[in-house]
Structure formats: structure tokens, C-alpha cells
Chain A
Amino acid sequence: MIEAQRGDEAAFRLIYRTIQPGLLRYLRVLVGNDAEDVASEAWLQIARDLASFRGDFDGFRGWAATIARHRALDHLRRRTRRQRDDIPVEMVTTELAAPDDTAGGALEALSTEAAMHLIAGLPLDQAEAVLLRVVMGLDAKTAGRVLGKRAGAVRTAAHRGLRRLAEQLAERGITEAGRPEAGEHARSDSTRR
């Protein structure tokens, strides 16, 4: 972190490689297919403002997520203004983040893509909370700062999101063990718990 702030390019690359996948996946839920564009806007700003950032790498992840989120909201506002006026950002966001119909089929493999589709199907606040925590690796407090909420609210949203995901996984016929061959063992194992 410090190396990068001093201008070490290799350190910056390392940071990029560490953060970018999560950032991109988070943005995908916010802005869909424009995630790449918004991510590169975010990185421009991160590169520019890196020197003024104060904190450790945990803090940096939160900082980067905040920048990305702002860029995403800007992007949505811009797009909204171009399309229709006076539609709250939230509505558009929800609309855009609606899950793809293809989500179900690919789930068996539980690819990153399929998992993202499922999460994108959650209500936006839950999806954001889950992604910031799991993908960006933020704790509840930092995620709360990114979202402008209290840590408790983020925690609740994330928990609801997880519960909902678990329900969906079950509905889609994936058992406790998560594999088609999962048998009675896995199930009885879970009921014991």
C-alpha cells in the first residue's frame, strides 16, 4: 500500500489485481454490463487520489469501493437523465440489476457467473451488502460507511440476503451438499444441526 503511494508501479499493479475482480463484480450488480467502463473510471480516480489516501489496505478496499459506488451512481444518473427524467436512481438500479433468466440453468457448476446472477437477483440493498462483505472483503462497519448506513443495518441486509440465497438454492433442488449426487447423508447431517 505504502509502496504504491510512493509511486511503486509494481505495488500498484498488485493492488489492482487484488481489488479489481471484486470491484468489477460489485459494479456488475449496480450497473450491469457497464461495469467495465465504470470500473475503469473508478481506477482513474483511484490512481489520481491514491497519494491522498490515508489508511491501511482494509481501509483502502473500503475507499476503493466508495469511489466505485459513486462512479456507478453517477453513471446511473447520467443514463437515467438520458432516458427518462425524474426516475429515482433506486428504481432504475433495481430494474437494471434484475436477474437474468438464464441464471437457473447454469447453477449446477456454481460458476462465478451463476453465483453472480443469483446475487444480482436479491433486493439491491441485500446484494450490495453481501458483495461488499464477501467480494470486497469489508467488515460490516466499513461496508456501512461505503453505503452510508450503520453497521447493524448492513449486517441485517447481508444476513437476509444470505438467507434468501439459501432458500433459492434449495428451491433449485440443490441439497445441503450442493451436488447432484448428494444423498441422504448430507441432509440428515444438516437436520441434526
Chain B
Amino acid sequence: MSTHRPRRIDRGEAERMLRGAPVNDGVGADPLADLLAAVAAPARGGELDGEEAAVAAFREVRLTHVTQPRRKPMINLMFAKLLTVKVAAMAAGATAVGGVAVAAGTGVLPIAGGGGSVAVSPTATPSAEVSIPAIPVPSAGASVSVSLLDLCHTYTAAAATDARTTLDSPNMRALVTAAGSADKVDAFCAKALQAETGTAATPGTTAGASGSAGPGGAGVGAQVPGAGAGASAGPDGAGPGVRVAPSAGVGASAGPGGAGVGAQVPGAGVGASVGQGGAGLGASAAPSVPR
């Protein structure tokens, strides 16, 4: 049978086949057309297994989007203030959820949140726990954004003189909100600043008993307008994920964190360290944690 020579396919016919149009006027079978049809056949068993996971992710994102607008005015205000305080570039802080971190971001794709300059997950509160190697230590640090840390620095410095007045200033409103109340700012900042060092050393971050929307997922991202960077971290049902977007200016990329129980999340470390470093730091949160 190998004596048969293949029929020469001209460009026009190839184009028709590639478009999925019937060849030979639909009369008589053509093995190549059969092959292409087989490849384009409808789903077979198992191919749609990921549907629930994908839908769960979709639902999760939806939750985040619904809750975001409510906080927007406050966030905008906060960032407007911070920007006037000459924040040249902010890096993305990100935290992770659960044991599985799927981090992704090539810098090519649009960042979630689109036009908004700020993407903050609703659970950027002390509801997350930082587990420093295997021992869970409740702390606010992991999910405290760079900007909140800045506020904490400011607050701690000013508190030495007059804490009350400091907290009353509008700049501090975000901090008070994040801490829960003015009384708790002290403790909040203490933990946050303490955790800052720990976070840079890439502790594993686990989901806390967060009761708020976007269960467990806490991500805070800062974005410099025009720089086209940002961060978003959000969980999804099956495999909670975090995405770390690159910081401003540099085409940094964040790679996946991989999977594993109690996984360390490279992204967390990057967010913190780059934030303190300021502009121009190209960070890659590529898989620094082999497992």
C-alpha cells in the first residue's frame, strides 16, 4: 500500500482544510480531512475534568470584584496621599493562600483589575497567619501591604510623641481601618513591622481564619499609574493561587510557586523586599523553592 503517493495539497485547499471546511466538496473521505476532524472532535472523557476548578476560580474572582468597589474610595484616598508623599514606585506585595500557590505572570497579559490603579483584595487584614517554618504564629505581617507598612513606620515614629493626634490625621485612616480600631494600631503595627523581616525571609504563608469575602486570600498590590504593573492575589476553590505581578518599570516576572502543603511562597518575599527597595528593582518570583 505504500506505493500510493500522497495527493499534492495546494495552498487553497490547505486553507480550506485549516478552516475546517469540507474538502472534495464533501464527497468521499479524505484521510487528512478525517485526521483534522478527529483532532477537532468534541470533548472526550476526562478532558473537561477541570471544569469545576475553573468555575470555582471564576466564582472567586467574582466575589472579589463585587466587594472591591466598596473599598475603593478609601483606597484611592490613601494612595492619592501616599503618592504625594513621593512614593516613586511601589512593588507588589502578595500573599498566598493554602498550600498551593499558583503564581503566574509574564508581564504580557493584562493584570486583573484593568484600569484601576489599585488592586486590593478584601482580606488584607490581620486575618492571615504567617507560619514561620511550620509553627503558626498569628501575625498581620504577611498580608500587610507595603503602603500600610509605610504608614506603620510613620505611625511608630510619630507615636513616640503623640499617638492620638497621629491617628486622627486622614493619612492614617487606612491604617486604622486595617487594624480594626485606633486602639489596635499599636499591636497591628508591631506585628506588621516584626513580620516584615520574616516575610522577606520567605516564610510559608497560610490561610487564616478569615471570615470576610475571598476566603483566606489576601493580597495587596500596589501599582504605579502608567507603569502597567500590579499585583493581585486571589484564591480559588481547588487550588488557591496567588499571582504576583512585577513591580514598576522592570519587566519582572513572577513564576509559579508550585504546590505542596505548607508551601513557601516566593511571591511573599518579593513583595516585601522590593517594596522597601523602592523603584527599579526587577524581581523575579520564579520558583525559588524546590520541592
Contacts and interface: CB of A to CB of B under 8 A. Distances in A.
A159 B38 contact: no
B109 interface: yes
Q: Is the interface of A mostly helix, strand, loop or mixed?
A: helix
B18 A78 contact: no
A24 B161 CA distance: 62
B57 A163 contact: no
Contacts, number: 203
A137 B20 CA distance: 8
A71 B104 contact: yes
B29 A178 contact: yes
Interface in B42-73: 42-44, 47-51, 53-55, 57-62, 65
Contacts of B43: 17, 20-21
A189 B39 contact: no
A45 B104 contact: yes
B48 A52 contact: no
A124 to B, nearest CB: 16
Given A52-B113, A116-B39, A137-B20, A40 B54 contact: yes
A135 B47 CA distance: 14
Contact of B55 (A12, A162, A166): A12
Contacts of B15: 155, 159
Contact of B29 (A4, A155, A177): A177
Contacts of B232: 48
A45 B108 CA distance: 12
Contacts of B29: 177-179
B189 to A, nearest CB: 31
A9 B58 contact: yes
B231 to A, nearest CB: 12
Interface string A150-192: 0000010011001101110111011111110000001101100
A135 to B, nearest CB: 5
A112 interface: yes
Nearest to A137: B20
A176 B243 CA distance: 50
Contacts of A118: 35
Contacts of A187: 4
A108 B34 CA distance: 11
A74 B285 CA distance: 12
B28 A40 contact: no
Given A21-B48, A51-B112, A71-B104, A78 B38 contact: no
Contacts of A179: 29
Interface residues of A, number: 76
B160 interface: no
A174 B29 CA distance: 11
A52 B47 CA distance: 27
Contacts of A158: 14, 18
B236 interface: yes
Contacts of A171: 2
Contact of B106 (A48, A50, A70, A169): A70
B35 A74 contact: no
Most buried by A among B31, B44, B60, B109: B31
Nearest to B41: A112
A87 interface: no
B109 A67 contact: yes
B9 interface: yes
- 10 pairs of A and B residues whose beta carbons are closest in the complex: A173-B1, A178-B31, A43-B54, A47-B57, A170-B6, A52-B114, A115-B38, A47-B58, A21-B43, A52-B110
29 contacts: A7-B65, A12-B55, A16-B54, A20-B47, A21-B41, A40-B53, A43-B53, A44-B57, A45-B104, A45-B109, A48-B57, A52-B114, A70-B108, A74-B104, A78-B255, A82-B290, A111-B38, A112-B39, A115-B38, A134-B18, A155-B15, A162-B9, A163-B9, A166-B9, A170-B5, A173-B2, A176-B4, A176-B30, A178-B34
